[in-house]
Structure 1
Amino acid sequence: MQMFSRSWVDEGRGFSREVEAKLLIHCFVMMFLGFTGGFVWLIHLAENVLHILPLPRLEIPVSDRGELLRNAHTGPMMNAMYAMTIVLLSPRLALSARQAQTAYYAVIVTLWGNLIGYSTAVYAPERGLQPIGDWTNLVSYASFYVAVVGVVIATGIYLFNALQIARGTR
């Protein structure tokens, strides 16, 4: 069963418009979720207070791990920008349909893996850096792990094509 009604790539254009749009949807959702993480970080910086005039002042307890809250804001945003760059560079790197499909799924795994990893790391004693500890740490670690695999695959595809174009073999 084919996921898209159109092809993965348009000749001389990179990703097809439908594939670009679907990948960009993930990017914009990720940016929105990154904004949400920034809002939580802002509450932390304001010492667990949310006060937006004319609304009453609200005390909202959030984690005291400010660095990890900041990461839950900036991480998804940076990954979304990486994915947008993947979309923008696809016409220049002459992706095959198979490469486009692989890069597409690798980028989606990267986006969502990092979002889950950054979000759960706030509550994980080991910050998801080692495969030990409680379930939040294991979820964070596994999410980061698959995200790294995804970004290495997508970047590898783009590097391979860039090298071929630079050498004049593509």
Structure 2
Amino acid sequence: MTPESLSAPERARILAPAAALFALGLVIGLIFTFEAIGHVAVWPLIPALEFDMPGTEAAWRRTHLGALMNALAMIAFAAAGSGIRLGARARQVYIWSVCITGWGNSLGFLVGALFGVRGLAFGAPWTNSLNYLLFLIAALTAFVQAWLLWQGARAQRHATAA
């Protein structure tokens, strides 16, 4: 099978989850704001409500920015899909890798903020191990997507040079 660029529907399979992740990042930004000001308030819609948010301000900042950055990275990898050439199976692996990396990394940040864990090593409590596994899977798929992007760019360069 001849390598091809990602089609518009294939790129949309990355863009739709990226948009959902971006929206989640915005919602997490509200939680970060509430943690920073010490209460829930959206004047004039919601009066100030005292609520003890789980996690720290720094953890919610990381989670907010992490989700937004991962969503933007997914959008960039989707856009790059129109300029690379991959076989059918490699295109599917690329799509899945980009989505798993973005969401896995972001969910790792979220688990960390909710449960006060970092996931830097596998071990108790179980939420720390979950956090570790989310980051590990995201790291592995990040290498896969980067390698496929490189391979696809090389194939595109050779196809246009011929």
Same fold (TM over 0.5): yes
Does the Cα contact within 8 Å between 1:125 and 1:133 map onto a contact in 2? no
Does the Cα contact within 8 Å between 1:14 and 1:92 map onto a contact in 2? yes
Alpha-carbon distance between aligned partners in 2 of 1:65 and 1:115, rounded to the nearest angstrom: 17
Aligned to 2:138: 147
Does the Cα contact within 8 Å between 1:68 and 1:122 map onto a contact in 2? yes
Does the Cα contact within 8 Å between 2:4 and 2:87 map onto a contact in 1? no
Aligned to 2:91: 100
1:20-42, Cα deviation, whole Å (9 max, x unpaired): 22221100000011111111000
Does the Cα contact within 8 Å between 1:129 and 1:141 map onto a contact in 2? yes
Aligned to 2:14: 23
Q: Give the alignment's Cα RMSD to 1 decimal.
A: 2.3
Alpha-carbon distance between aligned partners in 2 of 1:161 and 1:22, rounded to the nearest angstrom: 18
State the TM-score, normalizing by the size of structure 1.
0.83
Change (3 A) 1:97 1:149: same
Displacement of 1:61: 1.5
1:29-73, Cα deviation, whole Å (9 max, x unpaired): 000111111110000111134242253211121135111111111
Structure 2 residues not aligned, in runs of 5+: none
State the TM-score, normalizing by the size of structure 2.
0.87
**Counterpart residue type for residue 36 of structure 1:** V
Number of residue pairs aligned between Structure 1 and Structure 2: 160
**Counterpart residue type for residue 135 of structure 1:** W
Q: Quick check: 1:34 aligned with 2:25?
A: yes
1:56-115, Cα deviation, whole Å (9 max, x unpaired): 211121135111111111111111111111111112112222221110111121122112
Q: Secondary structure at the match of 2:107?
A: helix
**Counterpart residue type for residue 76 of structure 2:** T
Q: Secondary structure at the match of 2:47?
A: coil
Q: Quick check: 1:58 aligned with 2:63?
A: no
Alpha-carbon distance between aligned partners in 1 of 2:152 and 2:9, rounded to the nearest angstrom: 22
Aligned mate of 1:161, from 147, 152, 159 = 152
Aligned to 1:6: none
Change (3 A) 1:16 1:167: closer
Structure 1 residues not aligned, in runs of 5+: 1-10
